[in-house]
Structure 1
């Protein structure tokens, strides 16, 4: 049933050394190869048109959406959930509720981008851009006010660095100029709080918008750090939240000693994401890290109160 691979990796080790292309190869975040933004499939709708429709199936609007967060582990969560026989997942990020040019195409356009499924199956799509979107909460509520939402989060500072790293590599691949992390995060000696990656990590600010439209009991927050260390533990919580029978087992995961992370075993196959898909993080100056930790601390406390849950973040 599962369609792609999953993964995770090593630790981010801060130091006083400034990041450059060589140093980026020395550090890998424990969640980076959760592949929150990387999939084996491109974000196009054409692939759905080539699907063969099994008898008794049809396209269904998602009953559950993974709405965030960018660089938090959404891809890994989706692929792990795809192990469950009562779950079918959309292979691509649809960006229906956050991109106006897609939203105007209408709900039937959205429905037709979903995989074929049976009546007893839950269809799930994930688009991490929804979490920070100004319009997504209201639009999703208008579609289905009783929908269940999944959000996977990680330490906000780690998320900022991962966000930077993705842009860094994209610019390298496109032969564009790149900047050091410190030169973007620090402006005139102060933290650049207008940096988009920092804004995306203000979980309390964005969560407040979702709670205007959805009850907290409709939202389940997945701990990205726990997902990578103990995947079954987090997935069992999701199964319970979705009112699904427990079908995901410890035998569905195995630790690959060579790669250093968990891989998936299902449908008689063993699958790991190729390590070339991982994006190593820069070594970040300790002083800059402490500034980020300090800035997010109050926002984290606010978030904990909002969701009645705490996390092991700096």
Structure 2
């Protein structure tokens, strides 16, 4: 009996000591948020965190526009924590029926004052998503990263082709899918995803343009820092990302990230060589996008150097 009492007292003493340590570290963490480290594990990065919060910002698209690169670059900021995987909450009915508690559980642990960011590129083109996002939080900030729609289409097809080849499934050439009797087939899904003005119009029926920040995906590839500085301002974040956070990897052919002495490059699927498409078919594609692009430029009040 005496040994049981002594053991219980020892356990209580250890718990009290551990609680005191945790409280001290939590107070210290509240005034100085943890910095990004590409080598940190999920358990260590969330050690001082308090709870999972719904996102204050969402990267809504576009597919194959650079959403993963943008997310990883934003994650360099010490006041930002990101959902590591695409959640597909607002565009997959099975997920949406699970409710906000399920959605919150997919988010990272954060400290008070930190911004949670989620990205699912499928949100942009899904008709039901704008209203769903509004119901979650009418004040949420939205990031839309776009690139040349013709190049985006080819990249979209390239990813699908790679997946089919990996699974040893049959496939059609891009030209067969894109052209019907020598003319652009408007029913091709990858083409429809590149009609940015149609999808943005649905978002603007719900959200004001001021709540949607358009990121130039082509510029992000050429020189990441200026685009990241604009994103920081849009998200009301103090400027913490600097040119020193990026270096050009000549082997991969794109910029990689540097933080706290560690580097991080996007996986091998980024920068994958495009599937072949004849110059004649590509020119037809560019001509097809001229009017849609012009409408998109008018909607966002700026233009881009697209084909």
Quickly name the TM-score band, shorter chain normalised. 0.7 to 0.9
Q: Matched residues in 1 for 2:102 and 2:131: separation? A: 19
* Residue in structure 1 matched with residue 159 of structure 2 by the alignment: 166
Q: Matched residues in 1 for 2:202 and 2:267: separation? A: 37
Kept in 2, the 8 Å contact 1:2–1:79? The answer is: no
Correspondent of 2:141 among 148, 160, 169: 148
Correspondent of 1:198 among 191, 200, 204: 191
Deviation string, structure 1 residues 205-263 (Cα, Å, up to 9, x no partner) = 00000000000100000000110111000000000001111000010011123333211
Q: Matched residues in 1 for 2:261 and 2:115: separation? A: 23
Q: Normalising by structure 2, what TM-score?
A: 0.85
Q: Superposition pairs for residues 215-294 of structure 1, below 5 Å? A: 215-275=208-268, 278-294=271-287
* Residue in structure 1 matched with residue 58 of structure 2 by the alignment: 65
Structure 1 pair 243/277, CA: closer, same or farther in 2 (3 Å)? closer
Give unmatched runs, 5+ long, in structure 2. 1-34
Q: Matched residues in 2 for 1:202 and 1:233: separation? A: 26
Give unmatched runs, 5+ long, in structure 1. 6-46
Kept in 1, the 8 Å contact 2:253–2:271? The answer is: no
CA RMSD of aligned residues (A): 1.9
Give the CA deviation at 1:55: 4.0
* Residue in structure 2 matched with residue 312 of structure 1 by the alignment: 305
Give the CA deviation at 1:187: 1.3
* More displaced 10-residue stretch of structure 1: 271-280 or 167-176: 271-280
Structure 1 pair 287/152, CA: closer, same or farther in 2 (3 Å)? same
Structure 1 pair 276/289, CA: closer, same or farther in 2 (3 Å)? closer
Give the CA deviation at 1:279: 2.3
* Residue in structure 2 matched with residue 102 of structure 1 by the alignment: 95
Q: Superposition pairs for residues 83-94 of structure 1, below 5 Å? A: 83-94=76-87
More helix by share: 2
Give the CA deviation at 1:167: 0.6
Deviation string, structure 1 residues 139-193 (Cα, Å, up to 9, x no partner) = 0001111111000000000010001001101000110012111111011222111
Correspondent of 1:175 among 160, 168, 184: 168
Give the CA deviation at 1:127: 0.2
Q: Matched residues in 2 for 1:52 and 1:86: separation? A: 13
* Residue in structure 1 matched with residue 24 of structure 2 by the alignment: none
